Structure 1
C-alpha cells in the first residue's frame, strides 16, 4: 500500500518511501520510458540547463535508447530552446512552453530586478527594454556586446545591473550552437519571439501549470510548487483546483495535492540506480526534498553554488560522481556518501558502464569507487 489507512474524514498519510516512488515514477526514473526527447521535455515541464550538458544526461537517465543527437536536433530545429524561466535559471523547454512559461514567471523576474535598483538609478527600464530588443533582434548579441551598448546610454549605471535588467525585462533565449551536443559555442542572445517567429502568449492563469507540475513532481504541497517555479501566492490556485485534486498528508502533517489518477506505486517497488547530472530538477523540485535526499545527506551533493553529479541508489541520493577522459578511456569515479553493499556497487557499476557507452566516445570504461566523500578534504 502506498498510503496508510485513516478515518474517512482525514487524508491518507504518505510515507517518505511512498513519496519517493511516486516522484520517481512521474520523473521517468523508476523505469526508463519509451518517449521521444521532445515528449519527455514537455512531460517534465523543462530540464534544468544551467550548464549545457546536463539536459542530455537527464534524458539518458530517463529514456529508453536515448541518443544525444536527438535533443541536439530539436535545438537546431528550434523545437526546444534554452531560456531563463523557473527559479531564474536557464531551462531547456519546448518552444510552446518557452512562449507560455516565461510570461507566467515574469512577476518573479520583476521582483529580481528590484534587487538591482541601486545600480539602475536614472535608468528608464522601458527604454532599456526597447533598446535591448532592437539590438538582439537585429542579430544575436553576447552579454558583453549588449552590456557595452547599454553603457553608452547609461554610463553611470552598474554594468551587471544593466545585464540583469535586459534579462529580466525580455524573454531572451540562447541561440545555437550554444547547447548543442559536443558543439556548444558562446552565449548569444535574442528574444524567444524572434527566434521562434511567433509571439509569446499573454500571461496565462497558472492552473494548467499546477496540474502539469503535479503530473511530473506530485504529490506535492503548495510550497513545493512555489519552490520549483520561483513563484509566490499559489495557495489560491490550489484551492481553486481542490475539487479536481486528491489530497494526502506527509509524515509531518503537511497537506499534499495530487492528480486523482496519477501513479503512486507501492513503496516496495524496486528502484534501479540512476546517474543524474548536477542540478537535476528531481533534486530541486520540492521545498521538502527528503523524498529524494536523506536528511543525513542534506547539502552534501554540492558546495555553495557548485553542484555535483549525483547517484540515486534505491531511489535516494547515495553518492556523487565525476567522469574524466584520457585518450580512449573514460574514468568514472563514484564517491559514496555512506556505505554501499556489494550488490549495490555492482548495480551502480553496471549503470555507469551503460551511461559511458552512450554518453562518451570512449572505448574503455574504468569505474572506480573512492572513499566516502569528505567535503573537508
Structure 2
C-alpha cells in the first residue's frame, strides 16, 4: 500500500532537504552542490540564501569560490541565472543547451526572422575565442556589424543566454560588489570535460535529494527540461513512491530524510527567487496559493512554522523590515524579530 504524505509532512521534508530546519555544517561548496545551485539573477541574494542554511556562514567563502572558479554564475535552469559548482556547470549546461536556445529564440523570434543561428553562433564563438571578457552590450555591438538589422541587445542576450555557454565573471556576484556583468565562454573559464555518468540520472537523484518527495511535474518545473520520464523509469529500482493528499504520485530516494510532521520549524528568511519555493510545480508545500505571485515577483519572504508568513526588505542603511502576511502570535513575532535582527547584523557585517 502506498503511503500518503500530507501537506505538513511534505513541508517538513522540503525544509530538511533545503537545510532550513537545521543549518548545516557542510562547506559552502558542498552546500551549493547539494542544493543543485541557487537562483542568482539578483547577485547578492545567494548570500542570504546560504546564511539561512549554513551555520556560521562567511560570505567571503562564497566570494573566494567564485574568484577561484569553483562556483560560477551562468544561465541554466528555466533560462535564469544560477550559481552552481564548476562540476555541475560542465555536467548540466550541455543538457540544457537545446532548452536555452528554444526559449531565447522564442523571445526574439520576430527580430531573428532573417538571422541564420548557426552563422551567428560561429561568429560569436570566434569573437569570444580571444579570451577577452566582454559585456553583453559589447558582444551585441560587435555582432551587429554583421547583422545591422538586429538590435545589439538582442544579439548579445541571445549569445550569452543560449547560443554560447558562458559564465558571468567575478567581481559580479562577489560579496557587496556592484560590478556589471562581463562574460567568457564556459570552456575558457573552466577548461575540462563534464564529469562521467548520465546527466539525467544525476539531475534526478540530485533533485530528489534536495527537494523530494516530488512529482515529475515538480522536477520539470525546477529544471525546465522535457524528456525526463525515461530516465525516471530507469531509476525506478532506486526510488520509493508516495502519494500526496490529492492523490499525486511522488517519488523519492529511499534513504532521504522525511522528518516527523510535528518537527518544529524555526523562522527562516529567504532571498528573492529562492528555489525552496520555485523548485516545485506545486508550491503549496511552502507558500499558499494566495501568495504564489510573490515567488515570481522577486519579493523576499520569511518562513514561520515552515510556511511563507511575511515579506521583508533591507534598506542599505537601515534594519531588516518585516511585513506580516497573516496575524502573528506574540511568540512568532518575537522569533521573527530576533531572526530579523540577526540578518541585519549579517548584512551590515557585524
TM-score by length of 2: 0.95
1:193–1:200 CA contact under 8 A, matched in 2: no
Alignment of 1:91-102 (within 5 A): 91-102=82-93
CA distance in 1, matches of 2:288, 2:104: 35
Residues 74, 83 of structure 2: 8 Å contact kept: yes
Q: Corresponding residue for 1:165?
A: 158
Deviates more, 1:155-164 or 1:80-89: 155-164
Q: CA deviation at 1:123?
A: 2.0
Aligned residues: 347
**Partner in structure 1 of residue 275 of structure 2:** 281
CA–CA separation in structure 1 for the residues paired with 2:227 and 2:191: 33
CA contact (8 A) 2:137 2:152 kept: no
Aligned counterparts of 1:208 and 1:197: Cα–Cα separation in 2: 21
* 1:67 and 2:61 correspond: no
Match of 1:331 in 2: 319
Give 5+ residue unaligned stretches, structure 2: none
1:84-123 correspondence runs (5 A): 84-115=75-106, 116-123=108-115
State whether residues 46 and 93 of structure 1, in contact with CA within 8 Å, keep that contact through their aligned partners in structure 2.
Answer: yes
Does 1:352 pair with 2:344? no
Q: 1:130 aligns with which of 118, 122, 138?
A: 122
Work out whether residues 213 and 225 of structure 1, in 8 Å CA contact, stay in contact via their aligned partners in 2: yes
RMSD: 1.7
Tell me the alpha carbon deviations over residues 190-216 of structure 1, each in whole angstroms, 9 at most, x when there is no partner. 111101133456994401110110000
Q: Which runs of 5+ in 1 are unaligned?
A: 1-7, 363-377
Instruction: Pick which of 92-101 and 114-123 moved more.
Output: 114-123
CA shift digits 1:89-128 (9 cap, x unpaired): 0000111001111111112113213312321233222221
- Distance apart, 1:297 and its partner CA: 2.7
Q: How does 1:1-377 map to 2 (within 5 A)?
A: 8=1, 11-115=2-106, 116-138=108-130, 139-166=132-159, 167-199=161-193, 204-299=198-293, 301=294, 306-326=297-317, 330-361=318-349
SS in 2 for 1:209: helix
For residue 366 of structure 1, what is the aligned residue in structure 2? none
Instruction: Name segments (4+ residues, structure 1) moved above 6 Å.
Output: none
Report if the CA contact (8 A) 1:313-1:344 is conserved: yes
> How far is 1:295 from its partner?
2.9
- Distance in 1, matches of 2:154 and 2:109, equals 8
1:17-72 alpha-carbon deviations (Å, 9 max, x no partner): 00000010000000000011101000001011011111111100001100111100
Separation (CA, whole Å) in 1 of partners of 2:257 and 2:31: 17
> Once structures 1 and 2 are overlaid, which stretch shifts more, 191-200 or 165-174?
191-200
Separation in 2 of the partners of 1:355 and 1:181? 15
Q: Residues of 1 paired with 2:149 and 2:241: CA distance?
A: 53
| Bigger proportion of residues as helix | 2
- C-alpha separation in 2, matches of 1:250 and 1:46: 26
Q: What is aligned with 1:371?
A: none
Q: Tell me how far apart the structure 2 counterparts of residues 342 and 55 of structure 1 sit (CA, whole Å).
A: 30
